[in-house]
Amino acid sequence: MSEADFTTNEMMTVAAARMLGDGTVCFVGIGLPSQAANLARLTHAPEVVLIYESGPIGAKPDILPLSIGDGILAQSADTVVPTHEIFRYWLQGGHIDVGFLGAAQIDRFANINTTVIGSYHRPKVRLPGAGGAPEIADQAGEVFVIMHQGRRSFVDKIDFLTTAGYLDGGDAREKLGIKGKGPTRVITDLCILAPEPGSKELVVTSIHPGVTREKIRAATGWDLRFANEVIETAQPTQTELSTLRAFLARTARAHGDDR
Amino acid sequence: MSEADFTTNEMMTVAAARMLGDGTVCFVGIGLPSQAANLARLTHAPEVVLIYESGPIGAKPDILPLSIGDGILAQSADTVVPTHEIFRYWLQGGHIDVGFLGAAQIDRFANINTTVIGSYHRPKVRLPGAGGAPEIADQAGEVFVIMHQGRRSFVDKIDFLTTAGYLDGGDAREKLGIKGKGPTRVITDLCILAPEPGSKELVVTSIHPGVTREKIRAATGWDLRFANEVIETAQPTQTELSTLRAFLARTARAHGDDR
Amino acid sequence: MAEFCSLRDAVAAHVHDGDTVTLEGFTHLIPFGAGHELIRQRLRDLTLIRMTPDLIFDQLIGMGCAAKVVFAWGGNPGVGSLHRLRDAVENHWPQPLEIEEHSHAGMANAFVAGASNLPFAVLRGYKANDLAKFNDRIRTVTCPFTGEELAAVPAIRPDVGIIHAQRADRQGNVLIHGIVGLQKEAVLGAERSIVTVEEIVDRLDPPANSCVLPHWVVDAVAVVPGGAHPSYALGYYERDNPFYIAWDAIAKDREVFTRWVERHVLGTTDFSEFRASIDGAGAGEAGP
Amino acid sequence: MAEFCSLRDAVAAHVHDGDTVTLEGFTHLIPFGAGHELIRQRLRDLTLIRMTPDLIFDQLIGMGCAAKVVFAWGGNPGVGSLHRLRDAVENHWPQPLEIEEHSHAGMANAFVAGASNLPFAVLRGYKANDLAKFNDRIRTVTCPFTGEELAAVPAIRPDVGIIHAQRADRQGNVLIHGIVGLQKEAVLGAERSIVTVEEIVDRLDPPANSCVLPHWVVDAVAVVPGGAHPSYALGYYERDNPFYIAWDAIAKDREVFTRWVERHVLGTTDFSEFRASIDGAGAGEAGP
């Protein structure tokens, strides 16, 4: 693969990374969010502050952690606090600008399910559960969600409301006194979605290069709408791509990953 | 003064120090309690664990601290935790065997006033206030009080109940669900008092050498009673006296104290 | 007062069938050695508490040690599912498993409340989601000053708190550094506690304000080198990521899983034998 | 975001008449330099919060800066009374002073609740004593699981949190070590914060798990060498015990006190001039 080409995963990570402004204080979920947040740090946002729920504040890992508490996070952090302090003083305390989350299932109002598919007591699939997400989504200034788009993940109805997005839409969220703005961006391998002003229904605002509207609609479990103005996502720059690839290559070497 | 002689203050400190068993975990108030607790540590109780409310756990000061948070406490401690952790995890958490307190005023049921003489809103004398004492007396396994005895400190009625002893006596304390046993010993410059079983009224159990019953009663603001068996406090040993004097001499030198 | 003993003796003395047990360690310092010993001693009907269950709970659940699990996130970090946890919840294998499910914020606060000897914790949380619908131990309290309604969860005060730490001194004072998670709270809030350590040192020499557990709040200290493997111990060894990856295939199949535990855990007498048993092959072979 | 500035500019920008202000530091690192600057800028009607008021509050109260004090223990540690605090409470000099009085446990919990952005703190406390009789901000809550009644106090969330720390790096990250008291909570729970430090260093190099305040939770950082004197800064200078002893005579007399502040605080432009002004004579002379 030449540097000019890029995969849909790379496009997703690059598009998500761009969302993070320099100096932003970001509460980072593991996996795709961590990949995107660190790409931001290694490119346009060197002063972004990455907080991981295990305790590291200001982590600057040179490889991608496999878990939320890898040693590299502690060793590269400005400080490491107890896990409860992260949730009590830093998140609930109101010091987080952006919560960066992944999700198993999302609905049109950006509500997230990471708990069960099927009924709670007799689930078809038992997912890992809430983790830090409910309170991150509640208390961070705003939330970015990064996830692959498909009919099993972008669903008409989630089976369990693990993490509140805009609930039934409109001002349902504010009415409950929830402080954080909620999921202001959902970044997928196909496009970028944002809540439509007023209704708060997710609409497509930016389409990744080479992706069609039909493909996006086919990968969505509800009757997806598009914003009045939809732009094409700028394709990854050579710097973004080479930085991401070098980061992932260092990671694979360090993890002895032969997958 | 020869080593065979000793002052009433020295007798008080030595008698109080002897109360602390080796290995005891002791929450130490500043001043007389700190002096006595450290004398215990420097004589018969080398493994006593001294906790100061500012944060040091396992402090081993080689001079007496003037304040509750002197540097020597932090530097000599096994660990130093935030002040709130002392009160939440260590005291309220139930890990303290003995609370060692001073007092401005005490009554016959070992209730303590360190708040005001006179009325609260128009006090004759405004005292420092509660500090850590109310919760120490509530939550430590038991409490030792060390204070000078006199009619202004041993009073018939305290003007303000800062720290609960046995309240109105009897089982008043247990009835309120207070866990700690309360003040099991009051050590003064004249004698040692303890709550009488049943009534919980303080009675004299041990009289310091050379002190008369009359002198003790004259220094007490209520009609003080004596236990059925009253012993004479063993006079300070040469080791106790020389250790205490060396400790205080080191302290005076270090504090540049010319009082 | 900390007693030095073997891990086997520590578990035998302090853990009983039906106990509530927490094995904490957030990714770092997960007490795998101690978890294996619970399996070896065939403990039953345990209520197991961990914010992030991880493979150690997968093993305990799959071997039928647990009647109930209290948790917030049950996955194989960076890899996928905990298949034994799923199989117990989805199919009741090897037995039904009660679950009490929280968020991280809820459990973190519950551990703090436990260490503080409070009956409950107050937090801003569980807002507008379904967790409280299926967990009646998520309730509310009203602020007596503002009238505001906040979430409440019961304090975590287990019978036994088990953690792994980097080292202890000869008195049994324990030092933990790096990601300290909820380990201090897990020990201070527990009725009894077991700490496994990488090594005993003459002098602890903790940095200022670091996480130290004095010997008089710890019941048993057992030296278990590598006792956090395949998790890691900062300053001693790295996380064994290939083990976590290999676990997926082992745990996916009931028989493969059972053979693996029988060969490597039940077939060994302690954690050093376990380590030798799997040596050189990631998580080792499942056995015949 | 931490801005580096003079202490004078920091106070002018962030502290206003009528504000609620905490100056924390438990014996260690008491922000005397900052307290003097509040006096120099003649701030009025402040609600001052400190667990242990110490001489700094004696000075502020005696100069009429405070309308109200929230505290738990107001004495001159190891010496005796805070005479200016007493005179204000007993005789309303120089003006009436409202007091809100707690125990240490209550205030420590209130600072934690403040840093946690909760409206109140729950504790076992204030049992069977008279404190709640004279303070309606000591109330109760009932545990929604056990029915037990516990004490509640309102969270401390001041307009301004002021602390002194050992050092900051060039970004404004702050390191505190030794007795860390409630300083972290005082800053994190405050709307605005000012940190005075002994020095700025190129690299903070904090020990593992030490008390660090990142630059993005601090509003102003001012270099004030000796800024905790006569309190101490571990690693920099010792507590000036003779000052504490000498203060007793200075504070005992209204006129002596006033002359002392006029000469050494109001008569100097900053803390280094103050230090020069009292140099070589404990707390210095009161002045003519």
Give me C227's structure tokens: 């006792």
Chain C residues within 8 A of B95 when measuring between CB atoms:
188, 216-217
pLDDT at residue A26 in the model: 98
Phi, psi of A194 (to 5 degrees): -145, 155
Q: In angstroms, rounded to a whole number, what is the distance separating the alpha carbons of residues D113 and D266?
A: 36
Mean pLDDT computed over B183-199:
98
Mean pLDDT computed over C196-217:
95
CA dist D39 to A67, D21, D205, Å?
Answer: 52, 13, 35
Residue for token digits 């369990």? A160
Does C78 score more than 90 pLDDT? no
Catalytic: which of B10, B53, B201, B240? Answer: B53
Query: Side chain identity at D13, as an amino acid letter?
Result: A
Q: Are strands C192-201 and B202-207 parallel, antiparallel or unpaired?
A: unpaired
Long-range contacts of B1-5 (CB under 8 A, 24+ apart): B3/B238, B3/B241, B3/B242
Domain with B145 in it: 3-254
DSSP string, C215-265: GGG-SEEEE-TTTTTTSBBTTTB---HHHHHHHHHHHHSHHHHHHHHIIII
Structural domains in chain C, CATH included, are 3-101+157-276 (3.40.1080.10)
Whether the ω angle into residue C230 lies within 30 degrees of 0, i.e. cis, is yes
pLDDT at residue B1 in the model: 46
Mean pLDDT computed over C166-178:
97
Q: In angstroms, rounded to a whole number, what is the distance separating the alpha carbons of residues C12 and A127?
A: 34
Whether residue B259 lies inside any domain: the answer is no
Does B257 score more than 60 pLDDT? no
Compute CA B129 distance to the chain's CA centroid, rounded to the nearest angstrom: 16
Mean pLDDT computed over A55-74:
93
Instruction: Note whether C127 and C95 are within 8 A (CB).
Output: no
Residue from C102, C109, C140, C145 whose CB has the most chain D CBs within 10 Å, to mutate: C145
Q: C205 Cβ partners below 8 Å, 6+ apart?
A: none
Q: C232 Cβ partners below 8 Å, 6+ apart?
A: A70, A71, C27, C28, C29, C238, C239, C240
The model's pLDDT over A93-142, given as tens digits with 9 standing for 90+, comes to: 999 999 999 999 999 999 999 999 999 999 999 999 999 999 999 999 99
Cross-chain residue pair D214–A79, CB shorter than 8 Å: yes
Q: Which chains does D contact via 3+ CB–CB distances below 8 A?
A: A, B, C
Does C97 score more than 60 pLDDT? yes
Instruction: Note whether C221 and C3 are within 8 A (CB).
Output: yes
Q: In angstroms, rounded to a whole number, what is the distance separating the alpha carbons of residues A144 and A16?
A: 8
Is C197 strand, coil or helix? strand
Q: In angstroms, rounded to a whole number, what is the distance separating the alpha carbons of residues A183 and B165?
A: 56
Query: Would you report the helix, strand and coil content of chain A in percent, each value rounded to 5?
Result: 30, 20, 50
Chain B residues within 8 A of C117 when measuring between CB atoms:
92-94
Q: Which residues pair with C66 in a beta bridge?
A: C46
Q: Which residues pair with C69 in a beta bridge?
A: C48, C99
CATH of the domain at B96: 3.40.1080.10
Residue D217 is nearest to which of A80, A88, A95, comparing CB atoms? Answer: A95
Chain A residues within 8 A of C27 when measuring between CB atoms:
54, 67-70
Phi, psi of D184 (to 5 degrees): -60, -45
Check: pTM over 0.95? Answer yes or no: yes
For D38-57, letters b (16+ CB in 10 Å) and e give: bbbeebeebbbbbbbbbbbb
Q: B179 Cβ partners below 8 Å, 6+ apart?
A: B94, B138, B139
Q: A191 Cβ partners below 8 Å, 6+ apart?
A: A149, A204, A205, A206, A207, A208, A211, A216, A233
Residue B129 contacts C, CB cutoff 8 Å: no
Cross-chain residue pair C210–B79, CB shorter than 8 Å: yes
Q: In angstroms, rounded to a whole number, what is the distance separating the alpha carbons of residues B87 and C275?
A: 42
Does C287 score more than 70 pLDDT? no
Instruction: Note whether A144 and A202 are within 8 A (CB).
Output: no
> How far is the first Cα of chain D from the last one, in angstroms, to the nearest whole number?
44
Q: In angstroms, rounded to a whole number, what is the distance separating the alpha carbons of residues B71 and B65?
A: 8
* pLDDT confidence bin for A67, thresholds 50/70/90: confident
Q: B258 Cβ partners below 8 Å, 6+ apart?
A: D242
- Touch A-B: 3+ C-beta pairs under 8 A: no
Instruction: Give me the sign of the Cα torsion angle C246, C249, C252, C257.
Output: negative
Q: In angstroms, rounded to a whole number, what is the distance separating the alpha carbons of residues C58 and C229?
A: 15
Residue D48 to chain B, least CA–CA distance (Å)? 16
pLDDT at residue B3 in the model: 47
The model's pLDDT over D70-97, given as tens digits with 9 standing for 90+, comes to: 999 999 998 999 999 999 999 999 999 9
Instruction: Note whether D23 and D34 are within 8 A (CB).
Output: yes
Q: How many residues does chain C have?
A: 288
Cross-chain residue pair C210–D211, CB shorter than 8 Å: no
Residue A163 contacts C, CB cutoff 8 Å: yes
Does B66 score more than 50 pLDDT? yes
Q: In angstroms, rounded to a whole number, what is the distance separating the alpha carbons of residues A188 and A241?
A: 17
Phi, psi of C174 (to 5 degrees): -115, 135
Q: Chains C, D: CB contacts under 8 A, how many? A: 77
Q: In angstroms, rounded to a whole number, what is the distance separating the alpha carbons of residues C137 and C234?
A: 35
Q: In angstroms, rounded to a whole number, what is the distance separating the alpha carbons of residues D49 and D153?
A: 14
pLDDT at residue C285 in the model: 76
pLDDT at residue A66 in the model: 85
Q: How many residues does chain D have?
A: 288
pLDDT at residue A1 in the model: 46
Q: In angstroms, rounded to a whole number, what is the distance separating the alpha carbons of residues B104 and D68?
A: 25
Does A71 score more than 50 pLDDT? yes
* pLDDT confidence bin for B259, thresholds 50/70/90: very low
The model's pLDDT over B221-251, given as tens digits with 9 standing for 90+, comes to: 999 999 999 999 999 999 999 999 999 999 9
Q: In angstroms, rounded to a whole number, what is the distance separating the alpha carbons of residues C86 and C92?
A: 9
* pLDDT confidence bin for A256, thresholds 50/70/90: low
Residue for token digits 């970001």? A26
pLDDT at residue C280 in the model: 56
Whether residue B92 lies inside any domain: the answer is yes
Among A67, A71, A252, residue whose Cα is nearest residue C238:
A71
Residue B87 contacts D, CB cutoff 8 Å: yes
Residue A49 to chain C, least CA–CA distance (Å)? 18
Q: What does DSSP assign to residue A165?
A: S
Residue B87 is nearest to which of D104, D180, D239, comparing CB atoms? Answer: D104
- The total number of structural domains in chain A stands at 1
Instruction: Note whether B103 and B114 are within 8 A (CB).
Output: yes
Does D233 score more than 80 pLDDT? yes
Does C288 score more than 90 pLDDT? no
Does A74 score more than 90 pLDDT? yes
Percent of chain B with pLDDT over 90: 92
Q: In angstroms, rounded to a whole number, what is the distance separating the alpha carbons of residues D260 and D98?
A: 25
Does D207 score more than 90 pLDDT? no
Instruction: Note whether A124 and A133 are within 8 A (CB).
Output: no
**Chain B residue whose CA is closest to C173:** B78
Residue from A83, A158, A176, A250 whose CB has the most chain C CBs within 10 Å, to mutate: A83
Does C189 score more than 70 pLDDT? yes
Among B35, B53, B145, B120, residue whose Cα is nearest residue B90:
B53
Chain D residues within 8 A of B256 when measuring between CB atoms:
241-242
Q: B176 Cβ partners below 8 Å, 6+ apart?
A: B167, D127, D128
Instruction: Note whether D211 and D175 are within 8 A (CB).
Output: yes
Q: C98 Cβ partners below 8 Å, 6+ apart?
A: C67, C68, C69
Active-site residue, A53 included:
yes
Instruction: Give me the sign of the Cα torsion angle D155, D157, D158, D159.
Output: negative
Instruction: Note whether D228 and D199 are within 8 A (CB).
Output: no
Q: In angstroms, rounded to a whole number, what is the distance separating the alpha carbons of residues B178 and B160?
A: 19
ipTM over 0.90: yes
Among C181, C244, A13, residue whose Cα is nearest residue D209:
C181
Q: In angstroms, rounded to a whole number, what is the distance separating the alpha carbons of residues D263 and D266?
A: 6
Query: Side chain identity at C117, as an amino acid letter?
Result: N
Mean pLDDT computed over C109-132:
97
Phi, psi of C257 (to 5 degrees): -60, -50
Residue D25 to chain B, least CA–CA distance (Å)? 9
Chain A residues within 8 A of D209 when measuring between CB atoms:
79-81
Residue B83 contacts D, CB cutoff 8 Å: yes
Instruction: Note whether C217 and B95 are within 8 A (CB).
Output: yes
Cross-chain residue pair C134–A120, CB shorter than 8 Å: yes
Whether residue A249 lies inside any domain: the answer is yes
**C interface with B, Cβ–Cβ below 8 Å:** 1, 115-118, 173, 184-185, 188-189, 204, 206, 208-210, 212, 214, 216-217
Does B93 score more than 90 pLDDT? yes
Mean pLDDT computed over A75-89:
97
* Residue D135 CB coordination number (10 Å): 18
Angle C237-C240-C245 from CA coordinates, rounded to 5°: 170
Average pLDDT in chain A: 95
Candidate from A176-180, D161-165, D225-229 with smallest mean pLDDT: A176-180
pLDDT at residue A258 in the model: 46
Whether residue A259 lies inside any domain: the answer is no
Angle A13-A17-A18 from CA coordinates, rounded to 5°: 125
Percent of chain B with pLDDT over 70: 97
Mean pLDDT computed over C95-102:
97
Does A3 score more than 60 pLDDT? no
